[in-house]
Each structure stands twice: as C-alpha cells, then as structure tokens.
Chains A and B, each alone.
Chain A
Amino acid sequence: MELESRTVGLRPLGHLLQAVLENRSQANSVFDILAVLQSEDQEEIQEAVRTCSRLFGALLERGELFVGQLPSEDTVLAGPQGATHKYKVWMRHRYHSCCNRLGELLAHPSFQVKELALKTLMKFVQLEGAQPLEKPQWEGQYLFPRMLFRAVVRGLLSPEDDCSLLLSQFCEYLEYDDIRYHTMQVAMGIMARVISQQAEVSTTFWNNSFFLLSAMSLPHQECDLTNFYVKHTQPSDKWKVVHLKEHRKAFQEMWLSFLKHKLPLSLYKKVLVAMHDSILPHLAQPTLMIDFLTSACNMGGAISLLALNGLFILIHKHNLEYPDFYKKLYGLLNPSIFHVKYRARFFHLADLFLSSSHLPAYLVAAFAKRLARLALTAPPEALLMVLPFICNLLRRHPACHLLVHRPQGPELDADPYDPMEEDPARSRALESCLWELQTLQQHYHPEVSKAATVINQVLTVPEVSIAPLLELTAYEIFERDLKKKEPKSVPLEFIPARGLLGQHDDLCAQLFTLT
C-alpha cells in the first residue's frame, strides 16, 4: 500500500483522472486516487481531494453513478446484470468510500484540508441534490442528499475539536434556505444521538452546537423561501422546505432539544443573551420557553439577570402571567449588580419594568431605597447611572416624594427600612428616607456629588433619560475629566513637598516606609 501510493504519487493525479474519465476500462485507477486520500502528507491530500472533487463531480453530472437502492458490491459483480450496470454500482461504491474519507478529513488537524474537504462535500451535496441518487417515489417528490449532509454536519459537530473556524466557513451556506432547514433537522438528530450514546458529553460539543445553532437566523417576514443551494428544475409549493412555518417548527424543535440537556453554565449565559432577539422571535410557539426561562430566573446571579429579558418579552407580548415578578426582581438587587458585565442590560430592563405609573408606591419606594442602599458600594460610573434612575422613580411616583421630603417627620434613631426583608411590601421603605443619597453628596467625584444634590431641590417634572448613561465606563469618565478644560490656571498645593512621605500628618508615612 505504502509503495503503491508512493508510485502513484509519482504519476500525476491529473493523468489518472483523465484516464478514468475518458475510458471506463481505466476505472481501476480510482483506487489509486483514493489511496492518495489516505496519505499523511498535507499537500498530497489536498491534491487528491481536488482530483476527487473533479472526478466525482464529472461522474455525477454525467449520471454515471447508480441510482436507487444500492445493492451490495459482491452480489452485483457476481450477478447477471450488464457491464454498464456493474460499472455504475461499482463506481457508486467508490463514491461512497470517497465521501466517507472526506467526512473523516473534516477532523484533520490542518485547517486547509478541513476547509477543502468541507467545500468538496458541499459541492457533492449540490450536485447530488440536482441529480438525486435515489428514485423519487412519486412525481415531484422533494429529494435531498440527507445521508451525505448528515455526514457533513456530524463532522462539524465534533465532540473533540473546537470547530468554530470551520463552522464560520459553513455559515456561508446557512444563507440558503434548504441548507438551513436540513441543518436544523440533522443537528437535532445528531445531538439526540450523542446524548444517548455518551453519558458525559464534552463541553466542546456543546460549544460547537451552540455556535452552529446561534448562527441560524430565520427571515422575520413571511415570504417565499426560494433561495436554494440545490437547484431544482421544478420547485413545488407542496414541499415543506418552502414554508417558513416548517422552518420555524424545525428551529423550535432544534432549540428545545438543545436546551433539554444539561448545559455548561457559560453556555446558558450565551443562550440567554441571544434569547430575546435571535431565538424568541423565530419560535413557532414562544410560550414553550416559559419553563426554561422561569427556571433560569430562579437560579439567581447573572443568569437570573439575563433571563429577565426573555421573560419580559413573554410577559409583554405573549401574555405570560408571572406571579411575584417584582419580588423576584427586588431579590436580584444585590451589591454585585453594579459590578457585573450585564449591568447596562439589567438597568435598561429595570427601567422598563418600573416605568409603569400604576405600580404601588410601597413597591417603588422599596426599589428606590434598595438601590440607594446598594449605591453606597457602587463605583462612580454606576453611580452616575443609578442616581438619575432613583430620581426618575421618584418623579414618576409622586407618592414616593416622601422619601426625600418628609416635612413633619419624627427624628428617628434607626433606619426603619429592613434590608434583609425579601418582600418589598414588608421592607417599610416608605417610612424611611433616602439618607444614602445625602451621603453620596459627599462623594469624591464631583459629578456624582452633583447628581446626588438633585434631591435637595424639588424634583423637576421631566425625567432624565438614563439611556446614554447605561453604557458609561470608568474609562470614559476618566477621559471626560481629562478633556474638561479648566477655566483658570491650575491651582497648586501651597504646602511645600518635603519628600515622598514627608508631609505633615501624612497617613502614608504612618503606615508605610520606603525601605
């Protein structure tokens, strides 16, 4: 075998290809070509893949492959059929082995080889789809090379390697409606099989699957899906693949089957991030996501925050009745809220949730008080956002003005607000005042201090839009401070420096030494 491939390597593959295509008697040269596919050398493999692509591409176009249920090779060769029949069956078997090998090559360490194999396989899919290798059972039946395509997708969803690069190549094909449809179906099947086969599924597999799934995007409008990869001579209305409804069904089943399994935590976050704008709108029945989202919301931490967005869409558009929603939201407010990555998203949603003017005053007061309490631990960029947020709450609900203006209130020796209470109704926030904002007037950053002094005056009616403040980062604040032009000359310290730690009543000098 080794020797053979070596000798074949000497003979150019092009000659072999020509010989096979010109003369059926030279058909045995196919073995030589297939042998090179097994080679170790990257260059040789690429050459062989290209040759195979041309060879079988030509054969598929000519129709020189057997069509229909493929009989086993030995029976046919021994059988009484004509030479042409035998040749076709034999060649079809070679085609199969070639495809198998190409499927294996999708896991090749070299990316070039992988890419080339993928392209070749997709070319075969196209050609085979145009000239199906199976007989239609009735007139106008929709035929798609499912077996071949399954092999391709299986190669992509590898449990071992991270295929993100290859998948991003594959995403080009997902623009075609038929490819997308079949990918959804096939991927679902593959995931089901992987789960049933392996007890412990690797995270790589899930990552690959998620990559593929998230790349899928259905058209928003109802329209005819005619952008097909496989060109059909007579497209028909009766085919499932033409209807968006069917696509949606497939999409929904795919996601449900994906989410059914126990996923790694990071993947849940990714799914939830994408949920509101790329998953929920495309589902046939979005309400099926209720269970998933509520359980995610109950998990606590960042996942709960992220689940809010999907939940909101369900409540808002799909009439979901969610008991104790505000209580849960209230429970989500903890000190880390100002430090997590999804701060902007959360506050955007919180603003939406609390924008209703029909909320009870105690609830709004509890939220305001809780946020103010949390603001005592927040960095300046979060404070610049949350202070206007609280003021907006107060503006919307005049009943809550008591929090900042209690003319005949008794002097208290303890804050009546109970921070440990989980139910906003029993937190006694309305009896309290926002002393936290008064504290924050002493904040070291001038803008925060200014934002907090707003409560000293009667709040003006128009609300302050917090949208531009949501994405504020400390770096932006820093840059803004740097760019701010000082009106006069720079004030200077008048106590002369005596050294690094030599200053009078220097705290650093008390606690640190230079040596």
Chain B
Amino acid sequence: MGKSKPSRVRRQAPRAPAGPRGGPAKANPNPFEVKVNRQKFQILGRKTRHDVGLPGVSRARAIRKRTQTLLKEYKERNKSNVFTDKRFGEYNSNISPEEKMMKRFALEQQRHHEKKNIYNLNEDEELTHYGQSLADIEKHNDIVDSDSDTEERGILSAELTAAHFGGGDGLLHKTSQLEGEDRDRPKSRKELIEELIAKSKQEKRERQAQREDALELTEKLDQDWKEIQTLLSRKTPKSENREKKEKPKPDAYDMMVRELGFEMKAQPSNRMKTEEELAKEEQERLRKLEAERLRRMLGNDEDENKKKPKHMSADDLNDGFILDKDDRRLLSYKDGKMNIEEDTQEEQSKEPDSQENDQEDGEKGENESESREDPEESGSTDSHSDLESNVESEEENEKPNKEQRYTPGKKMLSNDEKIGKAARTELPYTFAAPESYKELRSLLLGRSVEEQLLVVERIQKCNHPSLAVGNKAKLEKLFGFLLEYVGDLATNDPPDLKTIDKLVVQLYNLCQLFPESASDSIRFVLRDAMHEMEEMIETKGRAVFPGLDVLIFLKIAGLLFPTSDFWHPVVTPALVCMSQLLTKCRVLSLQDVVKGLFVSCLFLEYVSLSRRFIPELINFLLGILYIATPNKQSQGSALVHPFRALGKNSELLLVSNKADVSTWQKGSLSLQWASKQSAPTAAEANHARLSCLAVCLALAKRCVFMYGTLPSFHAIIRPLQALLTEHLADCSHPPELQELCQSILSEMESQKPLFQPLICEKSKPVPLKLFTPQLVKVLEFGRKQGSSKEEQERKRLIHKHRREFKGAVREIRKDNQFLARMQLSEIIERDAERKRKVKQLFNSLATQEGEWKALRRKKFKK
C-alpha cells in the first residue's frame, strides 16, 4: 500500500497527454487539489520527483483501496466460511485467455468422460479422426498429409455423390445391374454399401501407393541433387551425418594445394654478422652488465626503493591508511637538483629490455656462427667427433649466455676431449641424474679427470630441463652433489685440485641455469663451516683453520657470484666467514699460515673491484709479518687476537738457516701445502716459509695500492710500516724480498696524506607538506557515504530499512484510523436507525393514543 506512489506516476503518464509540468495540470485541473513543494534552491541536474503532490487524489485512492481490501476483511471478520474460486487459472495472469478457455474446455471434457465411464467398463472408446478409426490409420503406416485430404476432397466422383446424397437409389440401381449380369440374385442394400466401401478403400490404397512412389522418387532426386551440390560448392551441410560418411576423400592434388597454402612463409632473418659486429655486441653486452654490477656495488638501489617520498593528502590522518595506490610523487631533491623519477624509471625499465634484446641477438649470432662451423668440424674429424660436435652445438643452444667460443679454457677442454677419446668410447652416452650424493660419487670415482667431466656433462644433457618435467629439480640437486664432491676431493690427501679446477666450469654452467638453488647450496656449505667453527669456539675457546674444502668453497663462491655487490645473499656471508677465519683461527703451523694467506688473498680478490676496506686483512698480514721477525717487546702493541706478541708460535716464519735463504727462489706458493700432513724437510719448510713471506708482502703491496686513496690510509698502515722497516733492518732476507719490502715502503711514502676537514651534507630543506585536497568520488548524494564499498552498502540498506519501517508504521496507523472511522460511522448509523425506529414507535404509539383518546372523547360526548 505504501508503495503505490511510483506506480501512480506510471499509470497516470499514459492516460494524460504530455504536458509541460507533468500530471496535475491536465488530469486534475482543479488548482485547489494541487500541493506544490517549494524548492529552496535550484540545483542544476537534480531530478525532483516530489515537487508537486496531489494529496486529495492520493487520499481518495488510499481510501478506495482500503475499502476494497481492509474493509472487506473487516466486514468478514466474523465469517468462517471461505469462498474459493476453483475456476482454472482464473487468477493466473501468465496464461492467455484463449489458452485458459482451451484448458477449461479440456478439463470439462475430461470430467464428462470420466463421469461417463465410471461404470461403463466393457466399452472401449474408439478414437476417430475425421470419422476414421485412429487404429485403422495406424495400421496403414501412413502419415496422412494435409494435402491428401484436399486430394480426396477434389475427387468427388459421381458415384460417391450419388452414394452419399442420392438416397442410395442410383447406387442400388447400378449395382443391381452389375449383379444382375453376374447373378440374378438381387443384392441387399447392405451388400451394396459394403461393396462400395471396399471399392473406395482399394482406390484409396492405390492412390497411396502411387504417392509413396512419388515420394520415393523425390527423395532420390534430392539425394542426387545433394551429391551434385557437394561437387559444386565446398561447403557441406553440417547437420547431415549421412553425408559426412559419403564425403569424397581428398585426393593428392588437393592435399598438396592445401599444404602449400598453409605452409610457413620464409621469414626474413637477420643477416649474418661479421666478426667485428659480434665483438662489438659482446662488448656492449659486457658494458651493460658492468654498469649493472656497478649499480649493485654502490648499493644505491636499496636507498632508492626506500626514500621515495609519498604523496600526502590534506585529509590524510597520517595513520598509514591508503585508499588506493598512489603513484604521484612529492617534489624531492637530490644533489641539489630536482628529482625526476620518471626518467630514471624509464631508463631502468628500458635497460633490462635492451639487455634481453642484446642477449637474444648474441644468442642468435652465436647459434648461427655455430651452425656455420658445424659442417667443417664434422667433416674434418671422424665419426665420433661428429657426434661430439652435435652434442656441443646442442649445448650451445641450451646455454645462450655462455661464450665458450671466446674462452681459451673451453678450447683446452676440447683438446682434452680429443685426447681422452679412446677412453670415452667405453662410456655410456646417457646417464640418469643421480638421486643421492653416493650415486654421483659412484659414477665419478675411479675415472680420469676427462671422463669425470664428460660424465657430468652428459648427465646435464640427458636431463636438460626442456626434456622432461622433473629434470629441473634433478639438475638443481646435481649442483649440490657436485659441490659436495668437490669438497670431498679437496679433503683428500693429496687434494685433487686438478679435477676441481675442471669441475668449476660445470658448476658455473649449472649456476647460470639455476641461480637460486646454487646460492642455496653454497650458503648451506658455508653455514656448515661456520657452525663447526662456532661450536669449536664454544667448546674449546679457540678455533683452528678448517680444511681446504672450505677455502675452495669460498673461492668457488667468488667465481660464481659477483663479489663487488654492496649486498649479496651469498657473497656477504662468505665475506663474514672469511673475516671469522682470519680473526678467530689460531695460526699454529705452516699449513695454517698458507691457509690464512690463501683466505687473505681471496678476501682481497673479493674486494678487488669494489676496493672495500678490510681491517682483518691488515691485522692478519701484520701478524704474519710479525711471526717472521725475531721477537721484540716493542712491536707487539699493535697485534690483535689470533697472534700473540710472545709465545710458542711467535717466531713461526723466522728462517735462521743462511743456506736455505740463499737457495730459495721466488715462485708461487702451492696450495698443496695447505693440507700437507707429513713434516717436510727442514730446507723445504724454510723455502715454504720464505714463499709465505713473499706472498704476504705481495698482498701487503696490493693493499697499499688499493687503500692508498682512503682518508686514513696512514693510520691504517702505520704498524705495517714499522714492521717493514724492522724487516729491512734485519738483513737476513733474500734480495728479492728485500726489494719487495723496499718497494712497498716507497709506495707507502709516495701516498701523500690529504686530510680534508669533514663536512656534513647540508641537510636537505624539508619541503613543506603540500596538502592537496583528497578527492573522493561521490557515488551518491546524501548521507550514505561510507568509507568502503561494503560500508556504503550497509548504510544504504540500513537507511532503506528505516524508511520502509517508517512507511509501514504510517500505513498501519492509517489503516487503524480508517477502521476507526468505519466503526464510528457504523455506530452512528446504528444509532440513527435506532432513533428512527424509536421515533416511529413513539409516533405509532402517539397516533394510537390519539385515536384512543379521540374515541373516548367521542364516547363521552355521546
């Protein structure tokens, strides 16, 4: 009831022709019925629906409706019987009146039928169609077409008409004639009719047969036509299955034509590149990579990510709540210039793209060149090498990033392969990827270096990730196993460094394929080493240098990952590990010295590009130099932890034998020394000591070169300087070493100290917070502006509910008023009736009384 308003508008609209101001003007011209809701402000674009109201009309409608519904209910409130309208579909608006009537008729028929048949059990109704029994028709197996009727209707033979309309005389007459010829016996009417029927039936059958023939013929014709049609046009009707079966097989020519049509056209390819171009591209690629490396070395990207000032709105409560991602940037300064981020971002986004392109280009070039070379190679060598070169080219395809062709190492490798060809013929060509370290070990152990390499290579090829799904995981594991194997080789006595040297290439290749897992495995071995050392420190209070394997792992980590990064997931822990080795491990023997020097060398190598400062390294070199000089109380002040000014090992590297000093020759220090268990002869040991000293001095020189530009260079090297002068004063060293010392000292002297006073960066002027108003999309006017979508929806629903509730309450109130009014009017009516009746009674009584009095008066008068 409350919702009648909009429907009213709708209903009124068609009734009245369109006027300028809507309904009231024309439908209800009475101006006293119109109530105009005055608008305070004219607002553009606002649609108002309630500017004009018709209170009288709507009230009248409401009353009418109530009288129809509520009043009825009220009046029937004491009645218990209910009127049910059982007419079919009377209130169903979905069914059209015609249908309704049809259904009703059918129902009526059915009812009739059922009623009739309730007790009529034997009789079975025969269904007829145009007077014929349906059962008969079914027997003929004939679908009677509509045109057959017309046909039949058309042929109204004289006989038939006579039979039908002629009262039977003519027919009777004729048949009697016929019969009369055959037999004299006259035929009864019944016989005649039967005969007639039989005749007509026969005729009919003939006609039907004829028509069937015609139908068959047309169908055949259709088929023939379709066959022809398929030939005429390529399109075959899809719906008919039968035809598909009979689709003619395409002949060879057609197939050829189609194939040619669909064949890929030759794509224009890049032209072959000349050597210079290739070299140039390579150079360009390396330059890009180097730039990338530099960026990582400076560690700027982290800052960039962090320091982007965010846009702040005036309405921002500073509570970190963000409605949407805001990609606007606040004005910011860097190095006094305005920071224009878009450019750099674009550059950054461009960079990887171009890099990729470059890589692709490079790859293509390589592939081409490789394929160009292939025939030559295969032609020049025997059948085995043919196979090899194929394999090689495959490998090239697999690893686009490699430039083996330019590396002499690879060439050496291929030479080795040629040498070991005889042995290789025995090797199987496929290897399953090892599932455990033991499997790999059993595969590799006992083979020559070349064979081992070949096995690893073949494992890689047989399990290339592109060949099967699980291969990636297998190869990722292979890296870990190989690393373990390398560790094993390094701990052997003597360490098999040659094999490791070759295996490193494989490790590098695997690492390029699977950086994540490779970094994980290297981190794992580093953690193991550190953990072991930490435990030793905790239990014994001091640590010793670990085995050669840890040093090799550190070296490999440096080879596989860029060591110059500001922060790197593998390299940074490795640096900490090396720092621990240099500060925590006691130097107790010559092996320890060699290991320590190797670690220092690695350390320097790690920072060779980034030129970072390593305090531990200086300390260690200082300690080594110290144990190579005779003890003196004065110098010990600068020594730190692993070394002691006085004690058992404080003269470990001191060589007192003059003869050994004179026979020593400068050369590289062998890594085998690091793991030698047996005691060497005195002369060998002395030579090794001098070599250690030489390495130490070389490292010191390198340090001096590297750190010369540091602001406090002189403070750093002062203790070294003091010790070196000491060394020089003590003239027992061979001349080469003395020269080295001298050169270092002069190098130290040549670095002019420059002490620029420190100045803080001027703190950037803090830009005023630019409070731009926060713009929120207004979805709906009014109070229903929630913060989030759900909230809005909720508020909307609450509002709607309240409105409905109010409306319902109002309606109920009105209903009650209406009812009260009705009751009142009833009472008034009843009272009036009673008054009227009483009055009437009084009237009659008065007249009676009057009459009686008049009568009595009359009597008295008499």
Contact = CB atoms under 8 A, between A and B. Distances in A.
Interface in A488-509: 489-494, 496-503, 505-508
Contacts of B278: none
A111 interface: no
Given A438-B712, A478-B576, A491 B562 contact: yes
Contacts of B502: 499
B754 A411 contact: yes
B669 A511 contact: yes
A507 B604 contact: yes
Contacts of A376: 615, 618, 712, 715-716
A80 interface: no
B123 to A, nearest CB: 93
B601 interface: yes
A458 B762 CA distance: 8
Given A411-B755, A514-B501, A498 B409 contact: yes
Interface string A327-347: 000000011101100000000
B668 A512 contact: yes
B501 A412 contact: no
A508 B602 contact: yes
Interface in B511-569: 511-512, 515-516, 518-519, 523, 526-527, 530, 534, 552, 555-556, 559-563, 565-569
A433 B712 CA distance: 10
A497 B613 contact: no
Interface string A410-448: 111111000100000000000001111011101111100
B432 interface: no
Contact of B501 (A334, A379, A500, A507): A500
Contacts of B498: 514
Given A413-B754, A492-B560, A499-B409, A377 B641 contact: no
B640 A481 contact: no
B758 interface: yes
Nearest to A491: B562
B273 to A, nearest CB: 21
Contacts of A3: none
B601 A482 contact: no
A103 interface: no
A503 B671 CA distance: 17
Identify which of B518, B565, B584, B760 gathers the most chain A CB atoms within 10 Å of its CB: B760
Main secondary structure of the interface of B (DSSP, over half): helix
Given A405-B760, A478-B576, A492-B515, A435 B616 contact: no
B638 A490 contact: no
A380 interface: yes
B22 interface: no
Contacts of B42: none
Chain B residues touching A, range: 35 or more
B669 A442 contact: no
Interface stretch (B97-105, B156-164, B222-230, B399-407): B399-407
Contact of B669 (A434, A444, A513): A513
Q: Which of A446, A497, A506 has the most CB of B within 10 A?
A: A497
B761 A474 contact: no
Given A413-B755, A415-B755, A512-B669, A442 B497 contact: no
Interface string B585-610: 00000000000011001101111101
B758 A406 contact: yes
Contact of B402 (A338, A414, A496): A496
B580 A478 contact: yes
A492 B711 CA distance: 32
B712 A498 contact: no
Given A376-B615, A496-B508, A503 B758 contact: no
A373 interface: yes
Interface in B683-715: 695, 698-699, 702, 710-715
A436 B576 contact: no
A117 interface: no
B741 interface: no
A434 B712 CA distance: 9
B616 A482 contact: no
B759 A508 contact: no
Contact of A493 (B501, B561, B604): B561
A285 interface: no
Nearest to A419: B715
Interface in A443-457: 443-446, 449, 455-457
Contacts of B633: none
B788 interface: no
A492 B511 contact: yes
B755 A492 contact: no
A515 B497 CA distance: 8
B577 interface: yes
A338 B619 CA distance: 12
A496 B403 CA distance: 8
Contacts of B556: 500
A404 B561 contact: no
Contacts of B570: 490
B627 to A, nearest CB: 17
Contacts of B611: 442
B416 to A, nearest CB: 12
A380 B577 CA distance: 11
B573 interface: yes
Contacts of A383: 615
Contacts of A137: none
B614 interface: yes
Nearest to A405: B760
A499 B504 contact: yes
Interface in B357-372: none
A138 interface: no
Interface in B251-300: 286, 289, 292-293, 296, 299
Contact of B699 (A378, A479, A511): A511
B559 A512 contact: no
Contact of A373 (B555, B563, B715): B715
Contacts of B712: 373, 376, 415, 435-436, 438-439
B818 to A, nearest CB: 75
A120 B399 CA distance: 81
Contacts of B579: 379-380, 445, 474
Contact of B761 (A433, A456, A512): A456
Given A339-B583, A494-B289, A457 B761 contact: yes
B83 to A, nearest CB: 80
A489 B515 CA distance: 8
B505 interface: yes
Contacts of A492: 511-512, 515, 560-562
B757 interface: yes
B514 to A, nearest CB: 10
Contacts of A479: 527
A511 B758 contact: no
B569 A475 contact: no
5 residue pairs, one from A and one from B, having the closest CB atoms: A409-B757, A498-B409, A339-B641, A497-B508, A435-B711
6 contacts: A404-B760, A435-B715, A443-B615, A491-B562, A493-B508, A496-B402
Interface of B: 286, 289, 292-293, 296, 299, 401-404, 407-409, 497-498, 500-502, 504-505, 507-508, 511-512, 515-516, 518-519, 523, 526-527, 530, 534, 552, 555-556, 559-563, 565-570, 572-573, 575-577, 579-580, 583-584, 597-598, 601-602, 604-608, 610-616, 618-619, 637-641, 668-672, 695, 698-699, 702, 710-716, 752-761, 763
Interface of A: 334-336, 338-339, 373, 375-380, 383, 403-407, 409-415, 419, 433-436, 438-440, 442-446, 449, 455-458, 474-475, 477-479, 481-482, 484, 486, 489-494, 496-503, 505-508, 510-515
Given A457-B761, A482-B573, A515-B497, 20 more contacts: A338-B640, A376-B618, A376-B715, A377-B615, A377-B638, A377-B640, A406-B758, A411-B754, A413-B753, A457-B763, A474-B583, A491-B292, A492-B560, A492-B561, A502-B409, A507-B604, A508-B605, A511-B698, A513-B670, A514-B670
